[in-house]
Amino acid sequence: MKKYPNPKSPSSSKNAVTKEKTDSPKPVSFFDVVYKIARKIPKGRVTTYGAIAEAADIKLTPRMVGWAMNGAGNAKPAVPAHRVVNRNGELSGRQFFATPTLMQELLEQEGVTIKNDKVSDFKTVFWDPGKTKAATAGKAVKQAVKKKA
């Protein structure tokens, strides 16, 4: 619910409103939220675009997470985009890596077994970002959006 300043209150002066706006933190993009969650994926584990979208808690779709992962190569600090797969454990983002086999190679270096472009024993190596503190990043964005409305 939007709050309006009380015109009779001394804190409702123009300077007080301006100060509130300048002291607010930098807006957080959904890219920032997605990357923060993806950076928490442990080595040797994978998660899905949908799990990240759900953990972000800001009405992201798995496709939007995929779009963010496509740009992860330029992010600082680095984002382990190779650890994000589709809901079936398939390496659906492999075509966006420098070589068609790089995603698989990176996962195999971390101990993840891949067969036919799919994570073997997917349920065992799946990491749920919704059960970590990284998911609170999305909740913070959601609360900031509510405050502006």
Domain with residue 138: its CATH number is 1.10.10.10
- DSSP 8-state secondary structure symbol assigned to residue 130: G
User: What integer pLDDT is reported at residue 103 of this predicted model?
Assistant: 96
pLDDT confidence tier of residue 1, bands split at 50, 70 and 90: low
Give the CA distances from residue 34 to residues 57, 121, 136, in Å, rounded to whole numbers and listed in that order.
10, 25, 11
User: What integer pLDDT is reported at residue 59 of this predicted model?
Assistant: 83
Q: Model confidence over 7-61: pLDDT tens digits?
A: 554 544 444 433 444 455 665 788 999 999 999 999 999 999 999 999 998 888 9
The residue range of the domain holding 127 is: 28-148
More confident residue, 58 or 133: 58
User: What integer pLDDT is reported at residue 51 of this predicted model?
Assistant: 96
More confident residue, 29 or 104: 104
Report if residue 11 sits inside a domain: no
The answer to whether residues 3 and 147 touch, using CB atoms and an 8 Å cutoff, is no
Residue by residue, what is the 3-state secondary structure of 7-68? CCCHHHCHHHHHHHHHHCCCCCCHHHHHHHHHCCCCCCCEEEHHHHHHHHCCCCCHHHHHHH
Query: Per the structure, how many domains does the chain have?
Result: 1
More confident residue, 92 or 2: 92
Report if residue 10 sits inside a domain: no
User: What integer pLDDT is reported at residue 19 of this predicted model?
Assistant: 40
